[in-house]
Amino acid sequence: MKFLAICLLLIFKSSFSHDIQVASFTIYEEEEQLRFDVVLEHKDIVRTFAERQKEPNENEIRNYILDNVGVFINKKECKISFDKVENKSHHIYLKGKLSTPIKKVKIIEIKNTCLLNIEGHSNVIQLRLNNQERDFLMNINRKEIIVQL
């Protein structure tokens, strides 16, 4: 009986796929600097770059993010720069920073069109600022958010 229950559980569990199309973008404070980290699914980048007939190397991935993400803090555009791009465990990790020095962040505006060529794709924006944790889901119908902190 236990064997049957385990088999049924495995069949049931395998019928659901982990194919949720999502990327995460996190803005947080660290060592008196605003940090900007991105986590992308490797297969989503490969697919997007194949559609564009480009090779997804580190420099091209950086440029893709910079072309598709805009961050404005207190109505001033922030320059995004990436210190590190890493490809491991089916994910691409970008670690970076925003040009705006840490002051009191009152309002943040984010524009994000990354990977929206993929049907059903969403971008999760995670804000860890001013002792607050706020998350937002962006997709083809919501490409811009404005958040008062």
Query: In order of start, what are the domains of the chain with their CATH numbers?
Result: 21-148 (2.60.40)
Mean pLDDT computed over 73-93: 94
pLDDT score, position 101: 75
| H-type alpha helices, the chain | 2-14, 42-51, 58-68
pLDDT score, position 104: 80
pLDDT score, position 19: 62
Answer with the residue of higher pLDDT: 20 or 41.
41
Confidence of residue 10 (pLDDT cuts 50, 70, 90): very low
pLDDT score, position 127: 97
Mean pLDDT computed over 71-81: 95
Helix/strand/coil for 59: helix
Confidence of residue 100 (pLDDT cuts 50, 70, 90): confident
CA distance 76 to 73: 5
**At 147, which amino acid appears?**
V
pLDDT score, position 103: 75
- Chain centroid to Cα 148, Å, comes to 20
Percent of all residues in the chain with a pLDDT value above 90, rounded to a whole number: 75
- Torsions phi, psi for 16 (to 5 deg): -100, 130
Mean pLDDT computed over 95-101: 90
Please state the pTM of the whole predicted model.
0.84
CA distance 145 to 141: 11
pLDDT score, position 123: 98
